[in-house]
Amino acid sequence: MGERKYFGTDGIRGRVGDGPITAEFMLKLGWAAGQVLGCGRRNSVVIGKDTRISGYMFESALEAGLSASGVDIRLLGPMPTPAIAYLTRTLHACAGIVISASHNPHYDNGIKFFSAQGAKLPDEVEQAIEDALDQPIVTVDSSRLGKAERVVDARGRYIEYCKSTVPASLNLSGLKIVVDCANGATYHVAPSVLDELGADVVAMGVDPDGLNINHECGSTEPARLQALVREQQADLGIALDGDGDRLIMVDHMGELVDGDELLFIIARSRHQAGQLRGAVVGTHIICLDRTTTGDGIISALQVLAEMMQSGRSLHELKQGMRKYPMHMINVPVSSRVDLGAATLVQEAVKAAETRMQGRGRVLLRPSGTEPVVRVMVEGEDDVLVREQVAVLAAVVASSC
């Protein structure tokens, strides 16, 4: 397999106008994807996006490239990333394309692909698309050009799917919920899901203008949500990010309930119901018994279902989890790195694990969204954790 030039751990992402996040590249990417995926007329590609202004430009460019390769396109408009994964499956498309930079600011954008099964494309398929990008565009005969149509009921389909992931008897009547949609792709979905389940919904971050996505709102900046939960005397708050795959929550006291605590609540609920099979894996919440990818709305619904079933508040449900000190340093890197091949880094990791003596863990991973390596150490001893994360970050900085 050749060296990857464009695809990272989470698709292709960068600043709009800087290569490869340009209209010209997206045109070529659409054509290359069409060549590799070979969908044909009977099996289209679906395209969805978040609310950032550059989505219009890239949607049109991808559509043109796919059409030139003879592939039909079904346009979903602004939709959460997990909704696009779901609709790729249920519309029997051969692939799905998401135009989004997730929790990044409006001036970034990116592309993520889903397979026909609504999962991440295999590495070999992404590599084949990269290889096709090196070839000149050859447009099919005009009689074979791909056609495009807009899917008018995409929002309703996904709302019903979200509701189907919790018991049909679930009634949120009596719960006052503040939901922050980050002026992103869930702005016209998340409030409706909660409202249709009976909740008293106070919505914020639901006025996207193309530039305000993730700006002082959403899961990356929850301070306003915390204040509004207290002001409204709400039972809880839900914060999503720009594309709807990330989630944090706020209890009735305005205290944050982070991803680890939410994972604990959902896993304990499954365990008590005899539905937990195998290990629980962090750090992203993916309810694989409900969906194929991270989904903030569906994850929130699982927590709400446990609240209603147990009769306990979110504040009460998060009790019982012992959290160890955890520190993370984002180390800037100039290019894509292979940590497994960095001998000094691997030796430093082993040394840190030895120092932790089985009472903690070390995690290093390149970010899928930024040119950084995330260095995280967690353990019982806060002083030791701080010491080791600093040592590891220094080694990564000097080696990568």
Q: What is the pLDDT of residue 14?
A: 92
Burial 267-295 (b: 16+ CB within 10 A, else e): bbbbeeeeeeeeeeeeeebbbeebbbbbb
Q: Are 105 and 165 in contact (CB under 8 A)?
A: no
Share in percent of the chain as helix, strand, coil (round to 5): 35, 20, 45
What confidence tens digit (pLDDT) does each residue in 326-373 have?
999 999 987 777 787 788 999 999 999 999 888 889 999 888 667 889
Q: What are phi and psi of 176, to 5 degrees?
A: -100, 120
CA distance 206 to 349: 43
Q: In Å, what is the CA distance from 181 to each residue of 82, 192, 357, 371?
A: 14, 12, 42, 26
**What are the sequence ranges of the domains in the chain?**
12-152, 157-317, 326-399
CA distance 259 to 283: 7
Question: The pTM is what?
Answer: 0.88
Tell me if the bond preceding 165 is cis, omega within 30° of 0.
Answer: no
CATH superfamily of 12-152: Alpha-D-Glucose-1,6-Bisphosphate, subunit A, domain 3 (3.40.120.10)
Q: What is the pLDDT of residue 139?
A: 97
User: Which pairs count as long-range contacts for 113-117, CB under 8 Å and 24+ apart, including other chains?
Assistant: 113/11, 113/33, 114/84, 114/85, 114/88, 114/293, 115/88, 116/88, 116/89, 116/92, 117/89, 117/292
SS3 at position 108 = strand
Residues with catalytic roles: 102
Q: What is the pLDDT of residue 42?
A: 60
Residue 322 CB neighbours (<10 A): 6
Q: What are phi and psi of 118, to 5 degrees?
A: 80, 20
List, for the chain, all residue ranges whose pLDDT scores fall below the cut of 70.
1-3, 40-42, 282-283, 368-369
Run of H or E including 89: helix 81-90
For the domain made up of 326-399, give the CATH fold: TATA-Binding Protein (3.30.310)
Q: Which two tokens stand for residue 383?
A: 């002083």
Q: What is the pLDDT of residue 2?
A: 53
Starting at the edge strand found earlier in the chain, the sheet holding 95-99 runs: 12-15, 108-115, 95-99, 45-49, 73-78, 148-150
Q: What is the pLDDT of residue 283?
A: 62
Residue 328 CB neighbours (<10 A): 12
CA distance 106 to 257: 26
Tell me, yes or no, if the two domains 12-152 and 157-317 fold the same way. Answer: yes
**Domain 157-317 class in CATH:** alpha beta
What is the rounded end-to-end Cα distance, in angstroms, of the chain?
Answer: 22
The DSSP result for 316-347, as a single string, is HHTTTPPPPPEEEEEEE-SS---GGG-HHHHH
